[in-house]
């Protein structure tokens, strides 16, 4: 950040808009002085709420009555002196307070993420904890909340620090071996060093793998709804969402682009993608829509294949290509008066629904929930997964360095690659060398954006 570091900064800690209470936070050397200037001249026992009448120092006009809590350095969120003002949650109250504060010497508005950045700079949290906090503020599902909270509490940092410690041990061992003449070393020394690197490599490979689950929980599981034109995919998505996400019409080939909606079922966040109906077509835009649909289905975590009761089981329907034992198969339009046909041999038992009447949707959401739980289930078992592309890239780089170390022709090169792996692990928590990523990470914090 380019702004001067030791200013006392302030910003609302709560989102804008009408609310019972809003919190305005100040951090820095002049935080307590600012409170006194606003009328908080009495004693403020640390970390205790005290009533205060906040006044404009210029004319003594009452701005609001509220509560103030003082958190003296270093026992505060940022590690600096922090003052939190609880006032009535009106934009006008916050605007007036901010106007008055901005006029005080040494005070200015905080940049987005600056409180957290200061907490990081003062060793109050590592980078993964800061990211966990950002994720917690953005959590929409229960599994996201749990994962973010664990990361904020340092679960991932501990896992990374332990691996980094192993790397440092292996490096120290390798360097000790380099410094010793060959004939003074026991025969198995080299093998012992390689064994240490191999153990670390395997643990790191497991960590890289955890990114699949961690990022899925963080970003939401993707569910692709696929089927032939006109079977009622958009109608089904609309009913799941409870509002008209997609256009529904009797014309086959209505949906062209992928339309997505974020939902939460059974405590899991997921994104449902409505896609273009699959069929052979000469129409250019529709054909592009179908290609996009196929890409979406191929990369989706969960597939819902939709058929219509009046054409089911439609064995020639290209949708069948996307059906496997994990697919939720749906026969829509169960309200139509047509004979009920059995599923083709080997296909999953279909859920019969009517997007028109809502019949069968309880069974459908149960079936979807079961699939989502299987996909997300591994996540609850994963105590400290990697949750971001930044983590995955760092861990993969460390893993590649270890693979090189294992195949290194001599000990010097082995030590060099170990050093790189240790550095990558240190960068993930922010222990070393992270100036280049800090602004990007902390700009994510922006209350009410």
Ligand X SMILES: Nc1nc2c(ncn2[C@@H]2O[C@H](COP(=O)(O)OP(=O)(O)OP(=O)(O)O)[C@@H](O)[C@H]2O)c(=O)[nH]1
Chain positions contacting ligand X, by CB under 6 A: 227, 229-235, 248-250, 252-255, 276-277, 332-333, 335-336, 354-356
Q: Provide the 10 A C-beta neighbour count for residue 263.
A: 21
Q: What is the smallest separation between the CB atom of 13 and Mg ion, expressed in angstroms? A: 43
Task: Indicate the SS3 state at residue 82.
Answer: strand
Q: What are phi and psi of 308, to 5 degrees?
A: -110, 140
252 binds, among Mg ion, ligand X, none (CB under 5 to 8 A by kind): ligand X
The least CB distance from residue 251 to ligand X, in Å, is 7
Complex with ligand X: residue 40 or 350, whichever CB lies closer: 350
- Name the residue nearer to ligand X (CB basis): 28 or 227: 227
| Number of residues this chain uses to bind Mg ion (CB under 5 A) | 3
Q: Does 255 bind Mg ion (CB under 5 A)?
A: yes
Nearer to Mg ion, 364 or 375 (CB): 364
CB of 315 to ligand X, least distance (A): 18
Backbone torsion region of residue 305, taken as left when φ is above 0, otherwise alpha when ψ lies between -120 and 50, otherwise beta: beta
Residue 332 interacts with which of Mg ion, ligand X, none, CB < 5 to 8 Å by class: ligand X
Taking the complex as a whole, the smallest distance from the CB of residue 341 to ligand X amounts, in Å, to 17
Distance CA 127, CA 123 (A): 10
The answer to whether 319 contacts Mg ion (rule: CB under 5 A) is: no
The least CB distance from residue 366 to ligand X, in Å, is 18
Q: How crowded is residue 180: how many other Cβ atoms within 10 Å of its Cβ?
A: 10
Sign of torsion, CA 19 22 91 115? negative
Task: State the virtual CA torsion across 118, 120, 125, 128 in degrees, nearest 10.
Answer: 130
Residue with tokens 């040494």: 106
Token look-up 């002085």 returns 33
Rounded least distance, CB 352 to ligand X, Å: 10
Pairwise CA distance, residues 362 & 372, whole Å = 15
Q: Interface with Mg ion includes 234 (CB under 5 A)?
A: yes
Contact 436, 399 (CB under 8 A): no
Which stretch in 93-101, 148-156, 255-263, 378-386 sits in contact with Mg ion by CB under 5 A? 255-263
* CA 58 and chain centroid, separation: 45
| DSSP codes of every residue in 109-149 | EPPTTHHHHHHHHTTSS-HHHHHHHHHHHH--SHHHHHHHH
Give whole-number Cα distances, 362 to 179, 237, 353, 359, in Å. Answer: 69, 14, 9, 8
In the bound state, the residue with its beta carbon closest to ligand X is 277
Q: Which is nearer to ligand X, 132 or 277 (CB)?
A: 277
The listed partner (ligand X, Mg ion, none) that binds 27, CB under 5 to 8 Å by sort, is none
Whole-angstrom distance, CA of residue 269 vs CA of residue 185: 56
Query: Which among Mg ion, ligand X, none contacts residue 232 (Cβ within 5 to 8 A by kind)?
Result: ligand X
Residue 116: contacted member of ligand X, Mg ion, none (CB under 5 to 8 Å, by partner type) = none
Q: Which does 335 bind (CB under 5 to 8 A by kind): Mg ion, ligand X, none?
A: ligand X
CB of 335 to ligand X, least distance (A): 5
What is the end-to-end Cα distance of the chain in Å, rounded?
A: 19
Nearer to Mg ion, 22 or 226 (CB): 226
Which of Mg ion, ligand X, none lies near 249, with the C-beta cut-off 5 to 8 A by kind? ligand X
Query: Least distance (Å) from Mg ion to the CB of residue 252?
Result: 9
Alpha-carbon span 425 to 418, nearest angstrom: 11
272 binds, among ligand X, Mg ion, none (CB under 5 to 8 A by kind): none
Query: Closer CB to Mg ion, residue 286 or residue 301?
Result: 286
Q: Which does 253 bind (CB under 5 to 8 A by kind): ligand X, Mg ion, none?
A: ligand X
> Which of residues 59 and 337 has its CB atom nearest to ligand X in the complex?
337
Cβ 323 to ligand X shortest distance, Å: 16
398 phi, psi to nearest 5 deg:
-65, -40
The C-alpha atoms of residue 262 and residue 237 are separated, in whole angstroms, by 11
Binding site for Mg ion (CB under 5 A): 234, 254-255
């Amino acid at each position: 950040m380019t702004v001067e570091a030791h200013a006392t900064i302030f910003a609302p800690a709560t989102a804008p808009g009408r609310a019972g209470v809003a919190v305005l936070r100040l951090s820095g050397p002049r935080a307590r002085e600012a409170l006194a200037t606003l009328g908080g001249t009495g004693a403020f026992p640390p970390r205790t709420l005290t009533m205060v009448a906040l006044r404009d120092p210029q004319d003594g006009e009452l701005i609001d009555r509220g509560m103030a809590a003082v958190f003296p350095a270093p026992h505060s969120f940022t590690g600096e002196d922090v003052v939190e003002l609880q006032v009535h949650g009106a934009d006008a109250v916050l605007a007036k307070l901010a106007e008055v504060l901005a006029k005080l010497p040494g005070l200015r508005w905080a940049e987005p993420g600056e409180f957290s950045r200061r907490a990081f700079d003062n060793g109050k949290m590592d980078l993964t904890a800061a990211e966990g906090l950002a994720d917690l503020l953005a959590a929409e599902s229960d599994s996201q909340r749990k994962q973010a909270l664990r990361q904020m509490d340092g679960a991932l940092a501990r896992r990374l620090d332990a691996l980094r410690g192993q790397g440092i041990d292996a490096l120290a061992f390798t360097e000790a071996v380099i410094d010793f003449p060959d004939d003074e070393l026991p025969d198995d020394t080299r093998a012992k060093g390689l064994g240490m690197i191999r153990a670390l490599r395997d643990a790191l490979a497991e960590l890289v793998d955890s990114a699949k689950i961690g990022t899925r929980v963080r970003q939401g599981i993707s569910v692709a709804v696929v089927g032939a034109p006109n079977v009622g995919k958009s109608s089904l998505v609309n009913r799941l969402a409870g509002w008209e996400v997609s256009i529904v019409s009797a014309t086959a080939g209505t949906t062209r682009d992928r339309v997505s909606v974020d939902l939460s079922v059974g405590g899991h966040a997921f994104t449902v993608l409505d896609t273009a109906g699959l069929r052979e077509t000469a129409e250019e835009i529709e054909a592009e829509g179908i290609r996009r649909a196929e890409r979406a289905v191929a990369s989706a975590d969960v597939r819902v294949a939709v058929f219509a009761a009046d054409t089911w089981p439609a064995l020639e329907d290209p949708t069948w290509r996307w059906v496997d034992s994990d697919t939720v198969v749906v026969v829509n339009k169960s309200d139509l008066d047509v004979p009920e046909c059995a599923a083709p041999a080997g296909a999953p038992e279909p859920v019969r629904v009517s997007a028109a009447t809502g019949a069968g949707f309880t069974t459908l959401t149960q079936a979807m929930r079961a699939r989502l739980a299987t996909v997300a289930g591994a996540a609850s078992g994963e105590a400290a997964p990697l949750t971001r592309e930044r983590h995955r890239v760092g861990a993969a780089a460390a893993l590649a360095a270890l693979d090189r170390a294992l195949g290194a022709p001599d000990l010097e090169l082995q030590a060099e690659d170990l050093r790189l792996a240790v550095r990558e692990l240190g960068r993930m928590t922010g222990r070393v060398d992270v100036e280049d990523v800090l602004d990007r990470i902390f700009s994510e914090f922006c209350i009410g954006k």
